[in-house]
Amino acid sequence: MGKRGVTVLLTVLLAVCLLGMEQVKDRKETVEAGMEVSEEEKLVALTFDDGPHAVYTEKLLEGLRERGVKATFFLIGKSIEGKEEIVKQMAEDGHLIGSHTFDHVQLTALSVEEACREISMTNEAIREVTGQEPEYIRPPFGSWNTRLECAVDMKEVGWTVDPEDWKVKDTDTVVERVLEKTEDGSIILLHDVYDTSVEAAFQIIDALQAEGYRFVTVDGVMLD
């Protein structure tokens, strides 16, 4: 073999060697990245009460779609009329739809008959639009009567993070309060009937996604 032949051979050997090292490095990085995701993935559920709202719910749905986020909506039965398209879109986008009673009433202050009417009328209104019977209910004011036979199959949903967005109506304050309290498994309570809350929801999502949180519907964080 001539001098030129040796040089070519050495160059080829060096190239093969470097390529091999690069592949090993790539594989190692992939494995490490994979472990990081599964070990550190934190789940959080965004829930919205008191909708649907003709303007803000639609805006919220758009922003959730852009961010690839699924949320949970507890609808007021009487607000559905005239906003059927929004509710239909909500279901099509894969969000979970639950009940927040027909007239936003305190169920425990009603007779069993009246309370059941509030629940069944809302379930009917939701089913008419989505074709699905709601399984989850968030009773207004958190007051729930477990003896309501008309709702034995429904699961009551509470919350763990409440920034009182309906009271402050200030985006920065809502975002700050939520980010301060949120941890793995949190259920965040917001209301999609205020522009400030919808804007806060977008900022909350962007911040928590950057921290590695994954947004799920409420059934994904409930222990029951």
CB of 37 to Zn ion, least distance (A): 35
For Zn ion, which is the closer residue by CB, 80 or 208? 80
The piece of 25-33, 41-49, 164-172, 192-200 that touches Zn ion (CB under 5 A) is 41-49
Among 140, 157, 161, 187, binds Zn ion (CB under 5 A): 140
List phi, psi (to 5°) of 44: -150, 145
Q: For residue 110, what are the CA distances in angstroms to 54, 122, 140, 155, 202?
A: 29, 16, 13, 19, 37
Q: Is the link from the previous residue into 140 a cis peptide, with omega within 30 of 0?
A: no
> Is 199 among the residues that bind Zn ion (CB under 5 A)?
no
| Rounded-to-integer distance, Cα 113 and Cα 188, Å | 31
Residue nearest to Zn ion (CB): 49
Judge whether 49 counts as a catalytic residue: yes
Positive or negative torsion for Cα 16, 18, 19, 20: positive
For Zn ion, which is the closer residue by CB, 104 or 117? 104
- Residue among 49, 50, 165, 192 flagged as catalytic: 49
Residues of this chain that interact with Zn ion (CB under 5 A) are 49-50, 140
Residues designated as active site: 49, 191
